[in-house]
Amino acid sequence: MINPYRTTYIKWNMPKYCCDCVHHMPLRFICIVILLLQDAIIDFYLISYFGVYCLGWLASDIAVVIIFIATFVKSHIYFKKERARKLIDYPLHESHLPLSVISWALFAVVLSSKYAVLLKNVATELNELDFFGPNTLKTTTALAGVVFVLLLSSQHDAKSGSNRRRYIDELTWTVVFDILDGVDSTEILFVKEGRDVFFSGMDYIIITFCCLNFLVPTIPLITLSRTKFGEEKVSHRLILIHKLFLAYLVNLPLLITRMIIWHGSSRVVSIFSLKNIIIISMISYDVYEHFQDKEDTSVSNLDCGDVVSVTNGVSGDKY
């Protein structure tokens, strides 16, 4: 027998339910448009300088677009089931959006490969006066940060200010800046005079760290996917390891590279050097606070144990 009160409740919330169903649609549409635009512009550079032999990149681009669409379809189905579950109070047992990890990993591999090829072979031939010059290439590549934000936002429904949202932000707040930082670090590779003063292998080091910044966001996405984007708790130790990775394996190498370029070729230092210093300092202080709190907790527990022992001893004497 149908519960009339439950039916009334569902009908009363139907407008909100419909609005929630289309909540992520604009994000998904804009993400696909930016993805296609980025692919088209970067492929134009590749075909212009390498000819039709680079048409093979189109296959990888199509694969990326297909996996993104599949990710969005999967998330749409998941959220529909999740909202229906909340209305009828029925448990949902389903893995949470693992395609988001696969889609970003594939996107990052393809993008970093194309950008590395252009940096190594084409960068010094680009003219800043041309529309399709170095600035357009760098800006188009940096759109990866926008793609990440749109992909991430379409994979969860955490409310602003909630604990889930704060947890998601804590793991991903540096991603966009790290991608911009990585692209900015390749500025010197577009200047032939600057590359001529490099020691052997310096250009490979810069390209490697830049490409690493495209791949690093896969790690927080894996963590978020395993915890259903904040619905399940993750150990603070894992978050701490992630922060240390960002500080000393992402920002520190970029800072060292910039210092080498600054002193080796007398180039102007990017403002992102300050960003590297700030993030390293903030994370280092977080680590210090974490171990300090742990030590204080241990001392507090030890003191409590001593007090209990003394109290028991006094009570025993009196008795």
Rounded Cα distance between 274 and 265, Å, is: 19
Q: Which residue has the higher pLDDT, 305 or 142?
A: 142
Give 135's pLDDT tier (boundaries 50, 70, 90): very high
pLDDT digits (tens, 9 = 90+) for 158-177: 888 888 888 888 889 889 99
Confidence of residue 307 (pLDDT cuts 50, 70, 90): very low
Higher-pLDDT residue of 248, 18: 248
Mean pLDDT of the chain: 81
Instruction: Say if residue 214's pLDDT is above 90.
Output: yes
Q: Mean pLDDT throughout 145-168?
A: 89
**More confident call, 277 vs 55:** 277
Confidence at 310, pLDDT banded by 50, 70, 90: very low
Residues 182/164, Cβ–Cβ less than 8 Å? no
Query: How many other CB atoms are found less than 10 A from the CB of residue 91?
Result: 5
User: Quick one: what percent of the chain has pLDDT higher than 90?
Assistant: 42
* 130: pLDDT strictly greater than 60: yes
Q: Name which of 82, 92, 230 is nearest 159 in CA terms.
A: 230
Give the pLDDT confidence score for residue 90 in this predicted structure.
Answer: 52
Please state the rounded mean pLDDT for residues 112-133: 92
- What is the structure's pLDDT at 312? 52
Judged against a pLDDT cut of 50, whether residue 8 lies above it is answered with no
pLDDT of residue 55: 79
Average pLDDT over residues 228-248: 82
Examine the pLDDT at 34 and tell me if it is beyond 90. Answer: yes
Percent of the chain with pLDDT over 70: 78
**pTM score > 0.75 for this model?**
yes
